[in-house]
Structure 1
Amino acid sequence: MRKTWLSLLLLFILVLSACGNAANHQKETNAPSAKKEKETMTYQSENGPIEVPAHPKRVVALWGAGYVAAFDVPIVGADSWSKMNPLLQDKLKNAQTVTDEDIEKIMALKPDLIVGLSNTKNVEKLKKIAPTVTFTYGKLNYLDLILEYGKLLNKEKEAKAWIADFQKRAQEAGKQIRAKIGDNATVTVMENFDKQLYVFGNNWGRGTEILYQEMKLKMPEKVKEHALKSGYYAVSLEALPQFVGDYLIVSKYSDSDTSFMETNTFKNIPAVKNGHMFVADAKSFYFNDPITLEHQLDFFKKHFLGQ
């Protein structure tokens, strides 16, 4: 009898202990904890502080999807230009194509963060769907813009590390290229779009930031005069030879008019005749986000240095 009584007492104590542990666990689970990851953070945007998710999971990128994708942040909606970029196909395969007019479509995507440019339409409506951050293109240099995206996405440390590494690699490649082609050799970047030809300054994508800012390659005087301040300049085929330096980078849209490349005017440009013309796919050369920049750097190393 005594043995049975002791067994029951022991069992009762064990049950009480288990209940107490469960209650404590439930209390810890339900109570706010400083150890839990923060759900939101304050981002200092160009328009003031904005409360954004600390770990965004459903971003709608109305511009610059490549910046978001570079930090492996999930994108549920992206602009058509980003969707056309072959470099982003895998990253955006599950993202819907959206514009700033697609309010209902964006709402259905249930984003936790929306990013775009300062001229994005319907910003007030977008703000009601999710925190919305816009950037003024050209207000920041290309590396500072990458850093800002890093801050916005809570990836500042990663952004700083990538920037430092990229600059080092680009500048080293620049030294090698200048040693090969000469310090005074000039390089022109041009593009065909919608039956118009353009030349570019040093901050309008197409690899211009790498060539002119990091590699310190020289820009022809005519390009500097007309495109450096504005970023780009439309030229006629007849005037194009005046803008082309010793080397020519052609950012080509194959689905636009490319007949200019078959003309004698174009073929007789010294850079073209001397085999100093390198042709890139415009759709993968357009932007200056980290993914595109890596592609552009590889392109220049391959064509200038054979690497």
Structure 2
Amino acid sequence: MKKVTIIFLIMFALIFSACDSETVQKEDGSITNDEKSETITYESENGPVEVPANPQRIVVLNSFMSGGVMALDGNIVGIDEWSKGNPRYEKYIKDAVEVSDESLEKIIELEPDLIIVPSASKNIDKLKKIAPTVNYTYGELGYLEKFLEIGKLLNKEKEAQEWIDDFKKRAKKAGEEIKSKIGADATVSVIESFEKQLYVFGDNWGRATEIIYQEMDLKMPEKVKEMALEDGYYAMSPEVLPEYAGDYIIFSKNPDANHSFQETDTYKNIPAVKNNRVFEANSKEFYFNDPITLDYQLDFIKKSFLGE
């Protein structure tokens, strides 16, 4: 009888010790095996998906969602080509492998526990067999709603909402200061070069358009409103750029594109050009509208318009 009691006490002590050890690990910020196996139900655009409550190895093939994952400290092990080439993302994904929805074997080798893809992805059904897969359709959500959805997906909705609230305050304040300086009726155009084509943008296509037009409520030229607002962008030749140029121009400039049009009289005679009111940014770090990019864009706008 005594022998049975002693064995029972030893077993109890071992169990208690294991539980206590698990508690210490949590206090140190590590994640226990139990936590790793926990799941949450995420309501995706295609219905509920069971995903890890604390994903450890994330593959992101959706370039318009990748920055949101980085902003919430998601560990990205596989990343799409566009995101991989963004200088603003470099420190977040220096160890991530470039993959696509066709490099299935490479993705399997990465052992992801969560995959994020665009809805147009070809191999969604195959990716679902590798790990829980969530897809997003560009344009279905507002630019800040997208980040909130990533917050929900990564079980960090509170952190995402706090950032959104703070960002809106900062952007609104800067917008009021800019309007006070340049005048409430001054217009701003956002253009971009790509190969031999120029584009002008509406209010929801990255390139700081969401900040300028939605948050700061700066004015869009009428011609831009007519041609680019509905679709989000409009392709044009350099010869007609003066028709779309605002009092100020933000030029998302592709370093690999041909910019000979800037040497023409047509360009040089645009009032914004003559008055030194063209602000150039590297398009490769200016495309997107995630928190990392938005913070950079807001700083760029403040520096350009206010000298801050």
**Is the TM-score greater than 0.5?**
yes
Residue in 2 aligned with 1:22? 13
State the SS of the aligned residue for 2:181.
Answer: helix
> In terms of mean alpha carbon deviation, does 253-262 or 278-287 score higher?
253-262
1:56 aligns with 2:55: yes
Equivalents in 2 of 1:132, 1:13: separation in Å?
51
What do the CA deviations read for 1:188-247 (whole angstroms, capped 9, x no partner)? 000001211000000000000000000000000000001001000001111110000100
Equivalents in 1 of 2:113, 2:4: separation in Å?
49
What do the CA deviations read for 1:42-89 (whole angstroms, capped 9, x no partner)? 000010000001001111110131111010010001111111111110
What do the CA deviations read for 1:113-165 (whole angstroms, capped 9, x no partner)? 11011111100000000111111111111011110011011110001000000
Residue in 2 aligned with 1:6? none
- Counterparts in 2 of 1:124 and 1:20: CA distance versus 1, 3 Å: closer
One-letter identity of the residue aligned with 1:51 = E
Residue in 2 aligned with 1:188? 189
Residue in 2 aligned with 1:120? 121
Equivalents in 1 of 2:131, 2:15: separation in Å?
36
Gaps of 5+ in 2: 21-33
Equivalents in 2 of 1:249, 1:168: separation in Å?
22
- Counterparts in 2 of 1:136 and 1:20: CA distance versus 1, 3 Å: closer
The aligned runs of 1:193-272 (5 Å cut-off) are: 193-272=194-273
Equivalents in 1 of 2:192, 2:14: separation in Å?
68
- Counterparts in 2 of 1:24 and 1:299: CA distance versus 1, 3 Å: closer
One-letter identity of the residue aligned with 1:142 = Y
Equivalents in 2 of 1:60, 1:13: separation in Å?
52
One-letter identity of the residue aligned with 2:13 = A
Equivalents in 1 of 2:116, 2:181: separation in Å?
42
One-letter identity of the residue aligned with 1:110 = E
Equivalents in 2 of 1:177, 1:26: separation in Å?
61
Equivalents in 2 of 1:123, 1:205: separation in Å?
26
The aligned runs of 1:155-170 (5 Å cut-off) are: 155-170=156-171
How many residue pairs end up in the alignment?
291
Equivalents in 2 of 1:18, 1:264: separation in Å?
91
- Counterparts in 2 of 1:14 and 1:48: CA distance versus 1, 3 Å: closer
- Counterparts in 2 of 1:180 and 1:25: CA distance versus 1, 3 Å: same
Residue in 1 aligned with 2:175? 174
- Give the TM-score of the pair, scaled to structure 1: 0.91
> In terms of mean alpha carbon deviation, does 19-28 or 249-258 score higher?
19-28
Equivalents in 2 of 1:240, 1:27: separation in Å?
69
State the SS of the aligned residue for 2:184.
Answer: coil
What do the CA deviations read for 1:247-295 (whole angstroms, capped 9, x no partner)? 0000001111121222221111110110010000101100000000000
1:295 aligns with 2:296: yes
Residue in 2 aligned with 1:5? none
- Give the TM-score of the pair, scaled to structure 2: 0.90
Equivalents in 2 of 1:269, 1:20: separation in Å?
83
- Counterparts in 2 of 1:128 and 1:16: CA distance versus 1, 3 Å: closer
Gaps of 5+ in 1: 1-8, 30-35
Kindly state the Cα deviation for residue 25 of structure 1 after the two structures are TM-superposed.
Answer: 3.3
